[in-house]
Each structure stands twice: as structure tokens, then as C-alpha cells.
Amino acid sequence: NAGVTQTPKFQVLKTGQSMTLQCAQDMNHEYMSWYRQDPGMGLRLIHYSVGAGITDQGEVPNGYNVSRSTTEDFPLRLLSAAPSQTSVYFCASSGTGGNVLTFGAGSRLTVL
């Protein structure tokens, strides 16, 4: 039982490049979400999903796309990376109906 798995752990991009951060969970959780954490700040919600085929925007969605084709996977896409997207990204999941959020280990992204 792996929990929430994020890949890659580290990534360096040049401005304008695109990439996808992967997130997978094996707990059959309906709810999945992406956060970014900048130095000295809390976690800010980027996008979230309450089930396959359903996604919605969080607090800071601009510059990011998501899709949810299966219950297990929730990838986060950066279409044209900018230095302002340098951050640590966390994926989380939970069952619906009020359940504990389980986090992945994080992905550290640097955009030059």
C-alpha cells in the first residue's frame, strides 16, 4: 500500500517549457488535490477533483491544467513554465464525506 505517490521528486525547467507532475493514489480516494508551497508560506490550493471526470479550480489555478480520467491518477500540467512557478508541489487525497487528507512526499520544481 503506497499511499500517495508523486513523480518526479525534483525537476529543473527552462522558462517556456512544459511538463507534467504525476500523482497516483492506491486508496480508492474520491478527492484529490494539488497544492504549492512557497518559502515561509502555507499551502495554496491549485486544483482539486471530487471524482473521475470532475475537476475545479482552487486559490491559484492560473498557469496549471489538470484532468482526472481515473480514480487513481491526477496529473498537474504546466503548459509554459514561468519562474513564478518555482515551488514545492504537493498532491493530496482523501475519501469524501469528511476524511483525513493524505499527502505525497512533494515535488520540487525550479524554473530558470
Partner 1 sequence: GIQVEQSPPDLILQEGANSTLRCNFSDSVNNLQWFHQNPWGQLINLFYIPSGTKQNGRLSATTVATERYSLLYISSSQTTDSGVYFCAVEPGGGFKTIFGAGTRLFVKA
Binding site for partner 1 (CB under 8 A): 31, 33, 35, 41-45, 48, 50, 56, 58-59, 88, 90, 92, 96, 98-103, 105-106
Cell for 17?
A: 517549457
Which sign does the torsion angle of CA 47, 49, 53, 57 carry? negative
- At closest approach, how far in Å is the CB of 12 from partner 1? 18
For partner 1, the closer CB: 58 or 63: 58
For partner 1, the closer CB: 47 or 81: 47
For partner 1, the closer CB: 44 or 77: 44
* Inter-CA distances, 37 with 56, 65, 91, 94, 109, Å: 19, 17, 11, 19, 11
Q: What is the distance between the alpha carbons of residues 91 and 57, in angstroms, rounded to a whole number? A: 14
- At closest approach, how far in Å is the CB of 80 from partner 1? 26
